[in-house]
Amino acid sequence: MQLIMGTMRIPEGALEVARPAMAAMLAASRAEDGCLAYNYAQDVLDPRIIHISERWRDRAALDAHFRTPHMAEWRAQFGAIGITDRDLQLYESDDGQPI
């Protein structure tokens, strides 16, 4: 399984502008073959920080995701939204276990 964990920063007041694009990205990504989870969450202490977590069945599914039209459209909106400080890391994992 492939995990992506990280953050991005959205300027104060821009979340409402970004929300429709974020919702479209979530819906399209979650519908992809091999997407096990795809989530954005606003930080409790700093509302400008969005936490990103993704789980993909395998690297092939993740690579296909990077080539989708909705990914290209999402990235093209970064400047207009003001997204900065993207810090994403890719991890390889097993299926985990409940704790």
Sheet arrangement for strand 35-42: 35-42, 49-56, 2-9, 84-92
Instruction: Return the closest-CA partner of residue 6 out of 61, 51, 73.
Output: 51
Find the length of the chain: 99
Question: Which pLDDT does position 75 carry in this prediction?
Answer: 94
Domain boundaries, the chain: 2-92
Measured torsion, CA atoms of residues 27, 29, 33, 34, in degrees rounded to the nearest 10: -120
Q: Please state whether beta strands 49-56 and 35-42 pair in parallel, antiparallel, or not at all (unpaired).
A: antiparallel
The pTM of the full predicted model, rounded to 2 decimals, is: 0.92
Mean pLDDT of 41-65: 97
Dig out the tokens for 8 from the structure. Answer: 């991005």
- Give the domain 2-92 fold: Alpha-Beta Plaits (3.30.70)
Question: Which pLDDT does position 50 carry in this prediction?
Answer: 97
Encode pLDDT of 1-36 as tens digits. Answer: 999 999 999 998 899 989 999 999 999 999 999 999
Residue 58 is given by DSSP the state: S
Question: Which pLDDT does position 29 carry in this prediction?
Answer: 98
